Amino acid sequence: MREFKKIADWKFWILMPVFGLLIPFAIKELTGNLKILGVIISLFIINIIFSVFVGIYLRRHGSFWYLLIVWPLIFCLGVVLNLFPDAYGYYFGIVYFIIELYAYTMGQESEVDIDDQIPIDGGIKEVK
């Protein structure tokens, strides 16, 4: 239950369907060059920034890593509902997952205090 309280921020869970379903639905209703511009702005700029936000948000709130799959699944649901073509929609879902994963694990590549640790291979001989 404590884990659920960490991720129960309603803004976070409302934004995912908005970016994955409502914005693509609005873009689908556009025509001509506005539609192309809307797809580029939505897929490449807004959703990538949102993917970074989701990864950082989940890491800062101490959430489980498997919640990273929720945003790409909601986006792929939009592809299933024909809001984006299948030809590139699923690939963008994979790209968003990879971007989230990078944002989630960012800064965890190395141990920051590795030089300050005491080696204990032979045991600590003398404690003062």
Cα separation, 26 vs 78, whole angstroms = 12
Cα separation, 34 vs 47, whole angstroms = 18
Of the candidates 19, 28, 15, the residue with the CA atom closest to the CA atom of residue 48: 19
pLDDT bin (cut points 50, 70, 90) of residue 48 is very high
The answer on pLDDT for 109 being more than 60 is no
Q: How many CB atoms lie within 10 A of CB 87?
A: 8
Q: Write down the pLDDT at residue 128.
A: 58
Task: Over range 62-80, report the average pLDDT.
Answer: 85
Position with higher pLDDT, 37 vs 110: 37
The answer on pLDDT for 110 being more than 60 is no
Tokens of 127: 């404690």
Instruction: Collapse the DSSP code of 113 into the 3-class scheme (helix H, G, I; strand E, B; otherwise coil) and give the result.
Output: coil
Q: Write down the pLDDT at residue 56.
A: 87
The answer on pLDDT for 33 being more than 80 is yes
Q: Write down the pLDDT at residue 91.
A: 92
The answer on pLDDT for 121 being more than 90 is no
- Please state the pTM of the whole predicted model: 0.72
Domains of the chain by residue range: 2-103
Position with higher pLDDT, 54 vs 6: 54
